[in-house]
Amino acid sequence: MNLLQNKVALVTGGSRGIGEAIALRFAAAGAHVAFTYLSSAERAASVEAALQALGVKAKAYRSDAGDYGQAEQLINDVLADFGQLDIVVNNAGITRDTLMLRMTEQQWDEVMDTNLKSVFNLTKHALRPMMKNRGGSIINMSSIVGITGNAGQANYAASKAGIIGFSKSIAKEMGSRNIRCNVIAPGFIETDMTHVLDEKTKEAYLQNIPLKRLGKAEEVADVCVFLGADMSNYVSGQVISVCGGLNT
Ligand code: NAP
């Protein structure tokens, strides 16, 4: 099903993990895909080739999502290369996990810049072309810990909770312009981000997940396809957990 035929999507952090899966699912659904990376140039080049092999236009951009100027340049470049912008997925994110007593200002700032300021940066510059286009879908990647909190992740949870308040506000502000803004809150998804966790932590999570398994990046990507497609045209300002029932 070509649910995203003729749409242009921008995915931040598309070189690995959930972002890569979103880019691939979008292309398979017929979208032309621009995506960003920060340091994985080789991975980004192979994702770009895989997308193009699906018969769509695709391009990787090196762009730090946490940098306001780079975000502005990125949107201008994507518009110059693709001509329009229909979907933005703010997916880039990092963790700097540690207990509050040990957390440094740098660990706080890095997470807030990459995870939260990035969402402001990209949304700010994407709104104008979306308004010109008379519509758009913004999808912001939060986390269930942004809803529940998590010991050892005060910085990360705060950034992910911030995304939810931001997104609901944008949905209210921009609804009259036919611009939708929704949030996905993944649970425990198998990617590089979660590979670093020790077995004991993973086991503890598994016990509490009703579906009794970790999630796949593609399962998050499928919800992105829904939110990017016209079949979700009356869905805005919502937080959709993709967590195997963990946040229930
Ligand atoms: P990942 O495998 O670590 O991949 C992170 C991606 O973000 C990479 O493509 C990376 O680019 C990019 N990135 C990092 N910093 C960036 C920056 N400043 N500017 C642009 N791109 C940047 O992470 P993931 O597990 O796929 O997570 C994706 C999103 O889902 C994140 O927002 C994460 O918080 C959220 N999430 C993940 C889980 C989970 O269980 N995995 C759960 C809840 C929420 P490089 O390859 O160049 O480094």
User: Does pLDDT of 198 surpass 90?
Assistant: no
User: Does pLDDT of 180 surpass 90?
Assistant: yes
Is any atom of ligand 1 closer than 6 Å to the C-beta of 19?
yes
CATH class of the domain at 8-242: alpha beta
Helices 118-132, 154-174: axis angle to 10 degrees equals 20
Q: Which atom of ligand 1 is nearest to the CA of 92?
A: 7
Each residue's pLDDT tens digit, 114-151? 999 999 999 999 999 999 999 999 999 999 999 999 99
Each residue's pLDDT tens digit, 1-19? 699 999 999 999 999 999 9
Q: Which of 10, 12, 16 to mutate to test the pocket of ligand 1 (most atoms within 8 A of CB)?
A: 16
Each residue's pLDDT tens digit, 34-50? 999 999 999 999 999 99
Note the pLDDT of residue 1.
Answer: 67
Is any atom of ligand 1 closer than 6 Å to the C-beta of 92?
yes
Edge to edge, what strands does the sheet with 58-62 contain? 58-62, 32-37, 8-11, 87-90, 136-141, 179-186, 239-242
Note the pLDDT of residue 205.
Answer: 86
Note the pLDDT of residue 90.
Answer: 99
* Ligand 1 geometric centre to CA of 13 (Å): 6
Note the pLDDT of residue 196.
Answer: 86
Residue 15 has φ and ψ, to the nearest 5°, of -85, -20
Is any atom of ligand 1 closer than 6 Å to the C-beta of 12?
yes
For residue 156, indicate whether it is catalytic: yes
Q: Residue ranges per domain, the chain?
A: 8-242
Q: Which of 193, 201, 246 to mutate to test the pocket of ligand 1 (most atoms within 8 A of CB)?
A: 193
Q: What is the mean pLDDT of the chain?
A: 97
Each residue's pLDDT tens digit, 50-90? 999 999 999 999 999 999 999 999 999 999 999 999 999 99
Report the alpha-carbon distance of residue 214 to residue 244 in Å, rounded: 8
Average pLDDT over residues 166-187: 99
Residue 56's closest CA among 107, 6, 97? Answer: 6
> 37, 156, 205, 234: which one is catalytic?
156
Is any atom of ligand 1 closer than 6 Å to the C-beta of 191?
yes
> Tokens for 231?
């079949």
Q: Please tell me which of 79-93, 186-200, 202-216 the model is most confident about, judged by mean pLDDT.
A: 79-93
Q: DSSP states of 115-134 as a string?
A: IIIHHHHHHHHHHHHHHHTT
